[in-house]
Amino acid sequence: IEGRIIFTNFSKGEKAGSLDLESILGETDEDKAIERASKTIAFYTAVGDIYAEFLREHGYREEVDSIREEYARNGFTNIHKYVSKKMLDSLAIYGNKDQCNKMFKRFASMNITPVLHLNPVYDAEQSMKDLLEAIV
């Protein structure tokens, strides 16, 4: 899907970059998919200064600060609990095939070119097949 790229890529000093979207596919329960996507977002937020800066500047200052403070105190164990639903929904595609298809279409309707990072909850090969089925 073609679309405009709307987010800053600080690492290259550019004024435009790309939006990374987590994609979790397969017949999973929603809680497991939410946890997996939240853990990935929280990980990058905790260890990546560029990601943290980007997210702070785009309305997620409280979440970023909480994630990074928790990481400094206790490591990775609970940092995903500080990813808000709003943050998750704006950065991730998660759930079963039908949910992911709807989320993918929502991003595409906004002319955002999703960069999909497959982060399966269960079987990786089946998740890749599900990804292709959901977006093609």
Q: Which residue has the higher pLDDT, 18 or 108?
A: 108
Q: What is the pLDDT of residues 76-106, one digit of tens each?
A: 999 999 999 999 999 988 887 788 888 888 8
Q: What is the pLDDT of residues 22-81, one digit of tens each?
A: 444 544 478 888 999 999 999 999 999 999 999 999 999 999 999 999 999 999 999 999
Give me the pLDDT at residue 3, please. 36
Does the global pTM surpass 0.75? Answer: no
Locate the domains of the chain by residue range: 10-135
Tracing tokens 């785009």 back to the chain, one arrives at: 58
Indicate the residue type of 94: Y
Rounded to an integer, what distance in angstroms lies between the CA atom of residue 67 and that of residue 55? Answer: 12
**Residues 88/104, Cβ–Cβ less than 8 Å:** no
